[in-house]
Structure 1
Amino acid sequence: MAEPVAIPNENITETTQPQSQVALTQPPVIEPVNTAQSPTNPVLLSEAQPVQAVAPQIAKPTIVSSVVTDETETRILGLKYAEGAKPFVVFAEAGILGLGFGAGFSINSYLDLVAGYNGGKYKADALDFELMSGMKVDKVDFDSKVQYVAANIRPFAGSFHLTLGLFNQDIKFKGQYSPSDFYLDEGELPEYTFNHATFDANQVGNVHLDVDFNQKVLPYVGIGWSPKISQRWGLATQFGAMYAGKPQVSYYPENGNLTIQDQDKTTTLGEALKVEEDNFSTWLKWIPVAKIGLWVRF
């Protein structure tokens, strides 16, 4: 049997692919990516935020005058003072209320706050202050203890100042009148005059006076002058008065006889002394204050 003869055909082309090429044409396997486990996520360019430019900080120029002011100022108790200022002051003084001392602090050139003490005890048993009428003041007993706080207001920022304060006082005053014939002519008798009525001093005998200020805390007003001697030392003067209200004043004869008649038989000793008590207590509503002292600042 004859074998078939292969007839070549030029229009048919036979192609073959290598084994490796066939493998590459297989679709790739894409594994899903877990974004929760990924440390970073890619940022799309379309989602990027615009970057803002930060303007550089420009230092402000320092004012020379403020630097100089700070260097020439100091703070004491939270208050500003000029360099070298001495706002603290201590002082010693003497006056009607006795010897005293105190301390103070200057808030500024217009205001000082001060606190002090005055006290003294004067006792004279043989004063022998003779009066022309035949009355002799031969015993005076004055006892004073005063503590005070005050503000010195300097309206012109100088030595002159107004003073307003409170005085806590314990002041007692006692006196005694006695008959005297020192200034009398021969044959004249010593006399007492109370409320314009004349009494026989020998008949009345000694008359005592007691003054007691019931109101303890008294308002004070005064004026003062405190010039400098040097940068630290100076003088101080003070004149003023404490308002005491109406103090308790008592006049009484030593023998206790208030029924003695005056020479004109118009009133009794008790009635006359009562008027004197009222007049004297009215006059003593204001207790005078006068003192001079020396101060030093630091």
Structure 2
Amino acid sequence: MKTLATILAASILTAIAGTAMAADDAVVQDGYTFERNQLIPTGVRAEVGTTGYGGALLWTANPYVGLALGYNGGDISWTDDVSVNGTKYDLDMDNKLAYLNAEIRPWGASTNRWAQGLYMAAGVGYLDNQYDLQKRIGDGETLSINGNNYELAVAGQEGNVRGQMSYENDIAPYVGFGFAPKINKNWGLFGEVGAYYTGNPKVQLTQNNLAPVTGNTIPAQVAVDQEANEIANDDKYQWLPVGKVGVSFNW
């Protein structure tokens, strides 16, 4: 899976470069000019969403093509739990995501500002996200792990399953769609949805103070290891959904 992600990322970067150059040639023919040595950003953006909060530097190559180089971080989460075999683990997210996207605007030269704001984003992200998983029980409660029930091994003390799910230091390709209309000459709004292809995560879970209920012969840690393996190989965790909004300023 990691090889596939690398191939996809390389393909997207090649497509970004090719699209930017092709669009640049077309724009020059239409009477626009592009200063190739103009590396100063043309705007900035503040954003918040499922991958955390942060911002981006913006470059406008021409009316049809732009670039966004940004960073999102923090503990904002897109879901509060991870569910497997009927067991829901509380999820605490720590996002660290740097990204480079090309934003393709098919109607960038339109006189309609709403049409101008529509774009497709393609790029790559560098993910160092880490998710803490936890499930706790107290006296008189049972916890289902991989289809088997467990209770406190020692009464009066908390029992739990804790661990981590991580996509560390991974390059992930990204596709998305956005709408960024201008309010006036300088200020604009921004909204985008998309997804990163991350591949399967690494998952580690450890049980504490749990014992099988009567009739269950499977040790708690064995069941926990089996459940961690199921989470790590669940197809739905190969994708990191993205949804974010913000405001931009262009000079």
* TM-score, normalised by the number of residues in structure 2: 0.68
SS of residue matched to 1:280:
helix
Match for 2:220 among 269, 274, 278?
A: 269
Confirm or deny that 1:102 pairs with 2:66.
no
Confirm or deny that 1:296 pairs with 2:243.
no
Q: Would the aligned equivalents of 1:218 and 1:242 in 2 still touch at CA under 8 Å? A: yes
Go from structure 1 to structure 2 and tell me whether the alpha carbon gap of 1:263 and 1:228 turns closer, same or farther (over 3 Å shift).
farther
Structure 2: distance between partners of 1:108 and 1:261: 65
Note the C-alpha offset of 1:147. 1.2
Go from structure 1 to structure 2 and tell me whether the alpha carbon gap of 1:217 and 1:232 turns closer, same or farther (over 3 Å shift).
same
Go from structure 1 to structure 2 and tell me whether the alpha carbon gap of 1:266 and 1:232 turns closer, same or farther (over 3 Å shift).
same
1:145-294, aligned counterparts within 5 Å? 145-157=96-108, 158-180=116-138, 189-201=140-152, 205-255=159-209, 260-261=211-212, 264-265=215-216, 267-281=218-232, 282=234, 283-294=236-247
User: What amino acid sits opposite 1:270 in the alignment?
Assistant: Q
Q: Which residue of 2 aligns with 1:144?
A: 95
Q: Would the aligned equivalents of 2:89 and 2:133 in 1 still touch at CA under 8 Å? A: no
Segment of structure 1 superposing worse, 209-218 or 199-208:
199-208
Go from structure 1 to structure 2 and tell me whether the alpha carbon gap of 1:239 and 1:202 turns closer, same or farther (over 3 Å shift).
farther
Note the C-alpha offset of 1:115. 0.4
Structure 1 gap segments, 5+ residues each: 1-72, 80-86, 128-132, 182-188
Bigger Rg over Cα? 1
SS of residue matched to 2:231:
helix
Go from structure 1 to structure 2 and tell me whether the alpha carbon gap of 1:170 and 1:134 turns closer, same or farther (over 3 Å shift).
closer
User: What amino acid sits opposite 1:159 in the alignment?
Assistant: G
Q: Would the aligned equivalents of 1:198 and 1:263 in 2 still touch at CA under 8 Å? A: no
Note the C-alpha offset of 1:289. 1.7
Q: Would the aligned equivalents of 1:100 and 1:119 in 2 still touch at CA under 8 Å? A: yes
Per-residue deviation, residues 17-52 of structure 1 (Å, max 9, x unmatched): xxxxxxxxxxxxxxxxxxxxxxxxxxxxxxxxxxxx
Go from structure 1 to structure 2 and tell me whether the alpha carbon gap of 1:232 and 1:197 turns closer, same or farther (over 3 Å shift).
same
Per-residue deviation, residues 233-290 of structure 1 (Å, max 9, x unmatched): 11111112211112111111134x7xx4355426442343233223322232112222
Q: Would the aligned equivalents of 2:34 and 2:61 in 1 still touch at CA under 8 Å? A: no
Structure 1: distance between partners of 2:56 and 2:89: 38
Q: Would the aligned equivalents of 2:192 and 2:244 in 1 still touch at CA under 8 Å? A: yes
User: What amino acid sits opposite 1:217 in the alignment?
Assistant: I
Structure 2 gap segments, 5+ residues each: 1-30, 81-85, 109-115
SS of residue matched to 2:212:
coil
Tell me the C-alpha RMSD between the 2 structures.
3.3
User: What amino acid sits opposite 2:231 in the alignment?
Assistant: F
Q: Would the aligned equivalents of 1:200 and 1:263 in 2 still touch at CA under 8 Å? A: no
Query: Relative contact order, CA 8 A, sep 6+: which one is greater?
Result: 2
Go from structure 1 to structure 2 and tell me whether the alpha carbon gap of 1:134 and 1:180 turns closer, same or farther (over 3 Å shift).
farther
Instruction: Using the aligned pairs only, state the percent identity.
Output: 29
SS of residue matched to 1:270:
helix
* TM-score, normalised by the number of residues in structure 1: 0.58
Q: Would the aligned equivalents of 1:164 and 1:222 in 2 still touch at CA under 8 Å? A: yes
Q: Would the aligned equivalents of 1:178 and 1:206 in 2 still touch at CA under 8 Å? A: yes
Note the C-alpha offset of 1:295. 0.6
Moved over 4 A (4+): 73-76, 133-137, 201-204
- Larger helix percent: 2
Structure 1: distance between partners of 2:179 and 2:152: 46
Q: What is the count of residue pairs matched by the alignment?
A: 201
Go from structure 1 to structure 2 and tell me whether the alpha carbon gap of 1:239 and 1:149 turns closer, same or farther (over 3 Å shift).
same
Structure 2: distance between partners of 1:134 and 1:244: 23
Q: Would the aligned equivalents of 1:136 and 1:180 in 2 still touch at CA under 8 Å? A: no
Per-residue deviation, residues 95-116 of structure 1 (Å, max 9, x unmatched): 1222211111222222211101
Structure 1: distance between partners of 2:203 and 2:214: 25
